[in-house]
Amino acid sequence: MTRSEFMKSAFAFGAAVAAARWLGASMAEASADVVRPPGALGEDDFLSRCIRCQRCADACPNRCITAFSEASGKQFSLVPGPGQEGTPVIFPRRQACNLCASEGAAETLRCTDACPTGALRVVPKEREAIQASVVMGHAVVDENLCYSYTGSSCGVCVRACPFERDALRSGFFERPEVTADRCVGCGLCERSCVRYPQAITVVPSRERQR
């Protein structure tokens, strides 16, 4: 191989690497913010690690995990980005994660146990462990919409919260008060909200770290 040939192939290789990097970056840019199953890695790592095998969805007793597609996200104005098609996603409005509450015998959250690649880290089914490691997002209250903030008294979301009096507190007139640091983003509050548009919604987290 002559020097010019070497230079040419090195240049081509460099260009290909740059193109691939650009592809990866632009894919991350165009991806939608969604609620992932508990224990999910940060979005970029998650998308690299996840093989879209649907084992977490199959394992979910509450069937809140669905494959992200144009059809499944349509009714929530969520469109999968280039690398997000087929990835597991939770639409709390449709069905929220109940942290395997119906699975009495489980030692771990079922989906995290089912994941074959570690895209979902194993989360023990214990209150402290869940609150320490699960950050699907955090709940946000819209005070314009919430009945308890607009002259009525409701409190449905507070009663739905698995971490009541910790992540979600009931204030004056049963006003929901979110402690973002303690909220895991399960979405049970959003699912339970009787107002529509929902007064309390989960804002997904991209990094999913405390």
Considering only residues 32-61, where is the footprint of another protein by CB under 8 A?
44-45, 47-55, 57-61
Question: Which of 1, 4, 5, 105 touches another protein (CB under 8 A)?
Answer: 105
Least Å distance between CB 122 and another protein?
A: 8
Contact between 108 and another protein per CB under 8 A: no
Least Å distance between CB 11 and another protein?
A: 16
- Three-state SS string over 77-123 comes to CCCCCCCCCCCEEECCCCCCCCCCCCCCCCCECHHHHHCCCCCECCC
Q: For 180, which DSSP code?
A: G
Question: Which of 150, 181, 207, 210 touches another protein (CB under 8 A)?
Answer: 150
Contact between 63 and another protein per CB under 8 A: yes
Q: Determine the interface stretch with another protein among 2-10, 32-40, 93-101, 169-177 (rule: CB under 8 A).
A: 93-101
Do 106 and 100 contact (CB within 8 A), yes or no? yes
Do 184 and 176 contact (CB within 8 A), yes or no? no
Residues 126-145 contacting another protein, CB under 8 A? 127, 142-145
Contact between 69 and another protein per CB under 8 A: yes
Q: Determine the interface stretch with another protein among 1-9, 160-168, 170-178, 202-210 (rule: CB under 8 A).
A: 160-168
Contact between 209 and another protein per CB under 8 A: no
Least Å distance between CB 1 and another protein?
A: 19
Contact between 16 and another protein per CB under 8 A: yes
CA-CA distance, 172 to 149, in Å (whole number)?
9
Contact between 94 and another protein per CB under 8 A: yes
E strand segments, 7-161? 65-67, 88-90, 137-141
Residue 154: in which H helix or E strand, if any? Answer: none
CA-CA distance, 67 to 82, in Å (whole number)?
14
CA-CA distance, 106 to 135, in Å (whole number)?
20
